[in-house]
Each structure stands twice: as structure tokens, then as C-alpha cells.
Amino acid sequence: MRVLLTACATTALVVSGPLAANAADQAQQSPVGGAQLTTEPTVVAQGATPPAVHASAFLLADLDTGAVLAAKAPHAKLRPASTLKTLTALVLLPRLNKADQVLGTDQDAGIEGSKVGIYPGCRYTVDLLFQGMFLASGNDAVHALASHDQGGVPATIDRMNKLASQIGALDTHVTDPTGLDADGQYSSAYDLALFARAGLERDDFARYASTKYTSYPLVKKPGTYQVANQNHLLFNYTGALGVKTGYTTLARNTFIGAAQRDGHRVVVTMMNSPHGVTEDASGLLDWAFKNYAALTPVGTLIKPVTAETKTGDGPNTSKKSSTRIPLPKRSLAVLEHGQAVQSMAFRIPVWLYAAPPILLLPLFLRRPRALRTQARRLKARRH
């Protein structure tokens, strides 16, 4: 009987553990930004049907209100390519003095991928490096900027991951600040929209994102060469605010674009597109502006509440802030068949599963003593 009792109590304790874990998982099932914003490859929109695009994932949202107007697989974790540089900029812009002179290195010049033309031994202002980062998507400029900050590239990666978490970009993990394909590096169409929204609130970010041309110094002879912004939306779309493009072999085309018309600022993000990102972005933006009054939001871009901040005056200074991140609102959902019982089970305190066997323990402990007393009496009678 004692063995049976022990087995019952142990079973109750073991069962309660998975139930508690499953309850925690259940609480995390509601996607950030709304229940309709999932990883499913189904286009979600209310009020009008958006045009078809080539991208595996996209999101369209109002930058000012945060209302998501349409989406497809917005939380799918995909390779971001150079659109990740928007998060890099969010980390580095408040920390670096734009008048600083940065000496180009062999490591900057030897980096893989797209380059703006950083030459070892040549000096560049931080301001010009940011231009090279936004316009030419220069990985060499990113490496120079990150190396100039305190702690270098590893510290920049750490700050990027922390900032992504703080602003609610929970689909993002950074291992390379340039956005190059790397193991464990991913983001989502939803997170890219969060980065764009946070960035366009900064005057410097908005200025770099919308700059069409800049000039870089020639090294071996006097003069400069022109660098053009790779975001063709700036040249082809009325009201375009720019932002960032990206491409790698594995990520394929990725894109963040924004435009302003009729008093509305709208952002569009696309990931894993084989081609035609400028045309697809233009089509989605046209659709949003044309149907804006008839559209019902299908979700929202969450926005952290930030208190007053103090920014250091010199280089390599962190922007100190007191930030509180609101938890995403949990949507009401209809329980599937069989889930009602599970839901009730999750609400029962863990200790209650072990309580009944423990309360019955004294009853089972008394019975062996009574049996032993009765056996002694029978033995005495026989003698």
C-alpha cells in the first residue's frame, strides 16, 4: 500500500510539471501585434484585397498609428539580408559622434558582400560612413562604424539583440551586423516594420534613408565618385521616404520602403522575394493609399513607452532611457474540441495535484499499525 501511495504522489507531481509548462506555452501562443498576424502564408486584409506579390512574407502598416493594413506570414523567421542594417543604425546612431574621423582598415576593406569603397589608411567621417551604409549598403562602412564604437563588432551585435527584444522584435536574432547570411541570423516582416517605424522617428535615420546621392573620396587621385541609393522607390514613387533594400543568395530580395501621401505615412516590408520588389512595393503602397478609408486594421505595430532620455555629448555614448515595454494584448479565441478541459486544468494550482495523496497518507499509515496490533492479540490467544 505504501508503494502504491508513493506511486500516486509521484505521478501527481510529475504530471503537474508538464501541465505548468504547457500552460506557459499556451500563454505565448498569441502572436505579437494581434491574433491574425501569424507565420501562415495566407494574406490577411479586411476591406479590400491587396495585389499579389512575389515575396514569401510581407507587411503593410501605418507608421503613425501602427495599424497593420495587410500581411502575409508576418512572423515567419527569414534571412533579412541588408534590411537588418536598419537595426544596426538604431543601435549606432545615438552612440556615435557624426563628426568623428574613422581610419579605414584592412578588415573593413576585406569584408564580404556589398561595399561602398572604404580604403585602408583613408579617413572618413562617421556621417559619411552612415551614408555609405544606407545608400550603397556598404558592409565595409558597417564594419568601420561598429569597430569605432566601444566594444567593437561583438558589442554591437549584443546591443542589437538587446534592442530588438526591448522594442518587441521577438522574431529577430543577430549574429552579423551587416545582415550577411549567417547561422542563427533571422528576422521577420513584422520586425522589419518595427525597425523602420523606430528609425523614421529619428531625424538622422530619416535623412540617411531618403538621401538619393552622396560622394566618396577617390584614394589614388584627387576627386570623388558618386554613390546612389539602391532603393529605387526613392526615384520612382511620389512621396517615397526610402528606408532600405537587401539581397543575398539565401535571403533573396528583402525590402523596407515607406511613403507619405494624403496625410498618411505607410511602410511596406517584404522578405524572400525572387524579383520585382520595387514594383510589388509600389503596388502595395498604391493599394493602401487608395483604399485607406475602407480598410480595417488586422493588427498593430506595438510601440514601447519611452520616458525622457539623456544622450551623452561625446562619441561612444549610450542613450540611457527608462523603457517599459507593454505586453502584447492577448486575443480571445474559441477553444477547439477537447481544449476546454485542458484550459481548466491549466488554471488549477500545481500543488493541488499532489494534495489529495498527501492528505490521504495518514489513513494508510494507521492501517499497518492496527493490523500489527490485531496480529499480536491473535498470537496471544493461541498461546
Provide the annotated binding site.
Answer: 244
In angstroms, rounded to a whole number, what is the distance separating the alpha carbons of residues 256 and 381?
Answer: 96
What is the SS3 string spanning the chain? CHHHHHHHHHHHHHHHHHHHHHHHHHHCCCCCCCCCCCCCCCEEEECCCCCCCCCCEEEEEECCCCEEEEEECCCCCECCHHHHHHHHHHHHCCCCCCCCEEECCHHHHCCCCCCCCCCCCCEEEHHHHHHHHHHCCCHHHHHHHHHHCCCHHHHHHHHHHHHHHHCCCCCCECCCCCCCCCCCCEECHHHHHHHHHHHHCCHHHHHHHHCCEEEEECCCCCCEEEEECCCCHHHHCCCEEEEEEEEECCCEEEEEEEEEECCEEEEEEEEEECCCHHHHHHHHHHHHHHHHHHCECCEECCCCEECCCEECCCCCCCEECCEECCCCCCCCCCCCCCHHHHHHHHHCCHHHHHHHHHHHHHHHHHHHHHHHHHHHHHHHHHC
137 assigned to active site: yes
- Of how many residues is the chain composed? 383
In angstroms, rounded to a whole number, what is the distance separating the alpha carbons of residues 7 and 29?
Answer: 34
137, 187, 188, 273: the active-site residue = 137
343 assigned to active site: no
In angstroms, rounded to a whole number, what is the distance separating the alpha carbons of residues 68 and 65?
Answer: 9
In angstroms, rounded to a whole number, what is the distance separating the alpha carbons of residues 140 and 137?
Answer: 9
82 assigned to active site: yes
16, 85, 114, 273: the active-site residue = 85
Computed on alpha carbons and rounded to an integer, the radius of gyration of the chain in Å comes to 29
Q: Binding site for substrate: residue ranges?
A: 244
What is the number of alpha carbons within 13 Å of residue 272 lying toward its C-beta?
16
- Cβ proximity of 304 and 321 under 8 Å: no
- Tell me which residues are annotated as active site: 82, 85, 137
